[in-house]
């Protein structure tokens, strides 16, 4: 595969522990909740600004819980509409990035083991790079039949030989074929690749031991990756998502990760309001790491950020109109 080469850029991120954040259990506000699901809240500032955030933690091993997704075709629904469409599930949270023009997802979605939405297939570079088209690798979180979670970089495609759609998963560390540096707890960890293939589509799947068909029952994509191996690893440059100074912009956030003991964590951060200014990608990653996530990724944020528990809002959506309509959500429901 042909790879795009960039100059070496080293970003030193201050390693500030946010472990001192005090989270309050607010299960009583969102009853009825099954025992393996808990809700936490904080309004403790993480820097000089006001701050509000919630997270849900759910036991992936508990077979009384079903972890799934839902999506639409050429239209969007609010999380509240998804809630009623799916017979009042326990948790509904926004997920993928999407196109306002077409209402289509720009990330992978897997439901009941079937690929129901692709990553954005290709895009053009900007400025002097506009002559090239890129096939992007995007982060996603998935859960397999054994109820084990995983965060990988994905490529979706169509196998013309077999007539089937597929999604390939790529694990950390990736092949060091490029000169872009990852954001890793303030210290450069190792060279990593820019996850773009120029002009030529990646083979599917790669046969070099680095990737394979990603066999998951449920998955939803976003990006960038925020945590790998329990460390802050923000691949915004590699995924070409919020590159450069955008990593330090504050916005409402939605994110998902999992812990060593197989607990799923869904985090939402309120922003663009007097009561909460939001968080940077770095702050978001540090919070997830401090909550014990082994791996985690950022999902669509801004006005899309919304988490419903038993149909009740947690953070206040930042759009003036309220909940933004989105094409896909992640769902937890009781069996």
Please provide residue 333's backbone torsions phi and psi, each rounded to the nearest 5 degrees. Answer: -135, 155
End-to-end, the C-alpha distance of the chain in Å comes to: 44
Contact 238, 177 (CB under 8 A): no
Bond before 205 cis per omega within 30 degrees = yes
Query: Which residues, listed in sequence order, are joined to residue 62 by a DSSP beta bridge?
Result: none
Q: What pLDDT score does 159 carry? A: 58
Alpha-carbon distances, residue 273 vs 172, 250, 279, 305 (angstroms): 36, 11, 12, 13
Q: What pLDDT score does 61 carry? A: 97
Q: What pLDDT score does 143 carry? A: 96
3-state secondary structure of 139: strand
Strand order in the sheet with 138-143: 114-117, 109-111, 218-221, 138-143, 149-159, 164-170, 211-213
Looking at residue 3, the DSSP 8-state letter turns out to be B
d(CA 238, CA 297): 14
Contact 169, 157 (CB under 8 A): no
Residue by residue, DSSP assigns 256-319 as EEEETTSEEEEEEE--SBTTB--B-HHHHHHHHHHTTEEEEEEE--GGG--EEETTEESSPPSS
Beta strands in 147-186 (DSSP E): 149-159, 164-170, 180-181, 183-184
Q: Where are the alpha helices (DSSP H) in the chain?
A: 79-85, 281-290
d(CA 122, CA 156): 11
Mean pLDDT for the chain? 82
Question: How much is the pTM?
Answer: 0.85
Residue bearing tokens 């506009």? 130
Query: Which residues, listed in sequence order, are joined to residue 168 by a DSSP beta bridge?
Result: 155, 213
Q: What pLDDT score does 234 carry? A: 92
Closest CA to 299 of 60, 139, 147: 139
Low-confidence ranges of the chain (pLDDT < 70): 1-19, 121-125, 129-130, 132-136, 158-166, 169-212
Q: What pLDDT score does 161 carry? A: 56
């Amino acid at each position: 595969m042909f790879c795009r080469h960039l100059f070496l850029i080293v970003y030193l991120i201050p390693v500030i522990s946010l472990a001192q954040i005090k989270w309050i259990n607010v299960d009583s506000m969102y009853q009825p909740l099954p025992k393996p699901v808990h809700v936490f809240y904080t309004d403790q500032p993480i820097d000089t600004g006001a701050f509000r955030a919630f997270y849900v933690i759910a036991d992936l091993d508990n077979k009384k819980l079903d972890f799934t997704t839902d999506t639409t075709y050429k239209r969007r629904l609010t999380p509240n509409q998804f809630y009623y469409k799916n017979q009042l599930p326990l948790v509904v949270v926004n997920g993928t990035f999407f196109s306002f023009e077409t209402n289509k997802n720009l990330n992978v979605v897997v439901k009941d083991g079937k690929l129901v939405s692709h990553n954005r297939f290709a895009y053009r570079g900007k400025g002097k790079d506009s002559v090239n088209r890129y096939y992007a690798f995007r982060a996603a979180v998935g859960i397999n039949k054994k109820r084990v979670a995983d965060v990988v970089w994905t490529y979706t495609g169509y196998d013309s030989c077999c007539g089937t759609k597929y999604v390939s998963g790529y694990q950390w560390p990736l092949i060091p074929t490029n000169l872009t540096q990852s954001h890793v707890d303030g210290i450069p960890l190792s060279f990593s690749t820019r996850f773009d293939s120029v002009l030529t589509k990646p083979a599917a799947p790669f046969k070099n031991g680095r990737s394979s068909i990603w066999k998951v029952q449920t998955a939803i994509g976003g990006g960038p990756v925020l945590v790998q191996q329990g460390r802050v690893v923000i691949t915004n440059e590699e995924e070409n998502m919020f590159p450069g100074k955008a990593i330090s912009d504050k916005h409402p956030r939605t994110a998902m990760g999992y812990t060593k003991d197989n607990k799923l964590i869904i985090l939402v951060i309120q922003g663009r309001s007097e009561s909460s200014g939001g968080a940077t990608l770095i702050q978001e990653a540090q919070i997830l790491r401090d909550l014990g996530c082994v791996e985690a990724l950022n999902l669509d944020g801004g006005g899309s950020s919304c988490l419903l528990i038993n149909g009740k809002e947690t953070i206040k959506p930042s759009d003036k109109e309220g909940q933004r309509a989105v094409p896909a959500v992640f769902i937890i429901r009781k069996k």
